[in-house]
Amino acid sequence: MAVQFLNMTMRIILLSTIFFVFSALSFPIGTRESKKEISKIDFSSSGCEFLYEQMKLEGVIHFDAFKAAYTGYKKLNKQNNSLLTLIDFNLPSSEKRMYVLDMTKKEVLFVSYVSHGRNSGENYATSFSNRNGSHQSSLGFYRTAGTYQGGNGYSLLLDGLEEGINDQARARAIVIHGADYCSEAVIRSSGRLGRSFGCPALPRELAKPIINTIKGGSLLFIYADQADYLAMSEVL
């Protein structure tokens, strides 16, 4: 009887050991794959709100602008680039309204003034065009390309990604560049920034570092709560 009990006890211990080893092999804890899953961006609606909170953007970027930029980012970011630049033309030129975001690291890299086209409006940009010679800004999503040294100094080429909205960017020579008229001194003297021929122009001191950060295939989104754009866009 004692021998039978001993044999049964040993069987239970052996089976328990086998089960523990099998469980450990089948369900690894703390693998690289599990960490990678955690770091992925959640592109759901709730994920957008959560990322906005994680990045502490309240009081920095209006949520509607961020949500629109986020929507396009998840559709157009085929190159898996972590950078997203947002220009919010709902804001006046006398306020900083350009934001360079690292969506993976959840960091705000730059916040800057940015000028709009001279025929888009005075302090606020209210009119937009894709037409060459309009001297207006164009809304929508762009992909950054290469750089060159031109009449406005160090500049960044842009490719408009939305047909009929901003796809004439190259033909119109719409680029990111620095400009003397984009400065706090100009705001103090005239109440607004100077205006470009349609380019998003930056303060001289920030043009090069921002261009070098976002060049080479990251997404840029120029936003305004404008009915015509929202109706035409196939991205939003």
Is residue 17, in this structure, part of any structural domain at all?
no
Is residue 150, in this structure, part of any structural domain at all?
yes
For 62-117, how does the pLDDT look when each residue is reduced to its tens digit (9 = 90+)? 999 999 999 999 999 988 999 999 999 999 999 999 999 999 999 999 999 999 99
CATH number at residue 181: 2.40.440.10
pTM of the model: 0.82
Is residue 102, in this structure, part of any structural domain at all?
yes
What is the DSSP-derived secondary structure letter of residue 117?
B
| Structural domain boundaries enclosing 56 | 34-221
Q: For a pLDDT cut of 90, what percent of the chain falls above it?
A: 79
Is residue 231, in this structure, part of any structural domain at all?
no
Give the span between the Cα atoms of 209 and 86, in whole angstroms: 16
For 24-38, how does the pLDDT look when each residue is reduced to its tens digit (9 = 90+)? 444 343 433 333 333
- Report the number of distinct structural domains present in the chain: 1
| Tokens 């164009």 found at | 138
Distance, C-alpha 211 to centroid of its chain: 14
Q: Would you say 139 and 89 are in contact if contact means Cβ atoms under 8 Å apart?
A: yes
For 143-172, how does the pLDDT look when each residue is reduced to its tens digit (9 = 90+)? 999 999 999 999 999 999 999 999 999 999
Strands 201-203 and 175-179: parallel
Name the strands in the sheet holding 219-223, side by side, starting at the edge strand that comes first in the sequence: 107-112, 98-102, 83-88, 219-223, 140-150, 153-160, 175-179, 201-203
Q: For a pLDDT cut of 70, what percent of the chain falls above it?
A: 81
Is residue 50, in this structure, part of any structural domain at all?
yes
Tokens of 96: 């900083």
3-state secondary structure of 168: coil
Is residue 156, in this structure, part of any structural domain at all?
yes
Is residue 124, in this structure, part of any structural domain at all?
yes
- For the chain, the residue count is 236
